[in-house]
């Protein structure tokens, strides 16, 4: 896709995060890789008012083009594009169940096989640091080691993908898993899948290729 197309898809994805219940107001942010940098949603503007022209280009040195400031979490996006060549889109959200679980600062274990949609046998919770800081970006990159999604302590979630559709679908999936895990914990201690059972799921997901989390679900 060329830049005008990416601007259009990115602003539409930001609106989708509100429609799908992942974000409210100006919370969260979305980006897509472009040339030697990325396009990201602007700082402080409500997601459901975003237009293609308001998307901000940021290069890998963190220099923003245009007059609008990029989202305060641009470092997380920049560092992911630098460290992970396969990542072409990043979705960050303050979705209700992910935020609630992130305040417990615990990883989500293999209570359901779809946990493997994030790339491993658990979904980690990144450590806490003030929003917008390099320290927070460092925590998130560590929690995303060999993973495509993580929680962020007392904050929210991050999901990455080879495209905006895949990253958004995974963010929706993780939010739903958080809701399911919370409900199961209300009733007792969930029985966890074994390492062998999760190995089989991960193998099956690999076999089905690099499609989005939703497509990988059965
Ligand atoms: Zn945030």
Q: SS3 for 128?
A: coil
CA of 183 from ligand 1 middle (Å) equals 24
pLDDT band, very low/low/confident/very high, at 207 (cuts 50, 70, 90):
confident
**Furthest-apart CA pair in the chain: how many Å?**
52
pLDDT band, very low/low/confident/very high, at 208 (cuts 50, 70, 90):
confident
CA of 155 from ligand 1 middle (Å) equals 6
Whole-number average pLDDT of the chain: 95
pLDDT score at 212: 46
- What is d(CA 172, CA 150) in angstroms, rounded to the nearest whole number? 12
pLDDT digits (tens, 9 = 90+) for 164-190: 999 999 999 999 999 999 999 999 999
CA of 191 from ligand 1 middle (Å) equals 31
pLDDT > 70 in the chain, percent: 95
pLDDT band, very low/low/confident/very high, at 97 (cuts 50, 70, 90):
very high
CA of 72 from ligand 1 middle (Å) equals 8
pLDDT digits (tens, 9 = 90+) for 102-119: 999 999 999 999 999 999
**Residue 153: alpha-carbon gap to chain centroid:** 14
Residue 215, pLDDT above cutoff 80? no
pLDDT digits (tens, 9 = 90+) for 9-48: 999 999 999 999 999 999 999 999 999 999 999 999 999 9
CA of 34 from ligand 1 middle (Å) equals 22
Residue 214, pLDDT above cutoff 80? no
- Residue 175: CB partners within 8 Å, gap ≥ 6? 21, 22, 93, 95, 96, 97, 98, 157
Residues marked as catalytic: 73
């Amino acid at each position: 896709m060329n830049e005008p197309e990416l601007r259009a898809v990115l602003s539409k994805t930001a609106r989708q995060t509100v429609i799908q219940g992942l974000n409210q107001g100006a919370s969260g942010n979305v980006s897509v890789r472009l040339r030697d940098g990325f396009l990201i949603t602007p700082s402080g503007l409500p997601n459901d008012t975003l237009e293609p022209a308001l998307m901000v280009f940021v290069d890998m040195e963190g220099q923003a083009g245009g007059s609008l400031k990029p989202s305060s979490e641009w470092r997380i996006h920049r560092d992911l594009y630098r460290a992970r060549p396969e990542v072409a889109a990043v979705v960050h959200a303050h979705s209700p169940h992910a935020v609630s679980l992130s305040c417990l600062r615990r990883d989500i274990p293999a209570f359901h096989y779809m946990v493997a949609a994030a790339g491993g046998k658990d979904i980690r919770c990144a450590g806490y640091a003030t929003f917008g800081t390099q320290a927070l970006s460092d925590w998130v990159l560590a929690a995303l080691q060999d993973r495509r999604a993580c929680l962020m302590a007392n904050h929210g979630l991050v999901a990455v993908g080879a495209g905006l559709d895949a990253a958004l679908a995974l963010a929706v999936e993780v939010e739903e898993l958080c809701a399911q895990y919370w409900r199961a914990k209300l009733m007792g201690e969930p029985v966890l899948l074994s390492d062998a059972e999760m190995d089989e799921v991960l193998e099956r997901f690999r076999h089905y290729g690099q499609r989005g989390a939703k497509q990988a679900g059965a």
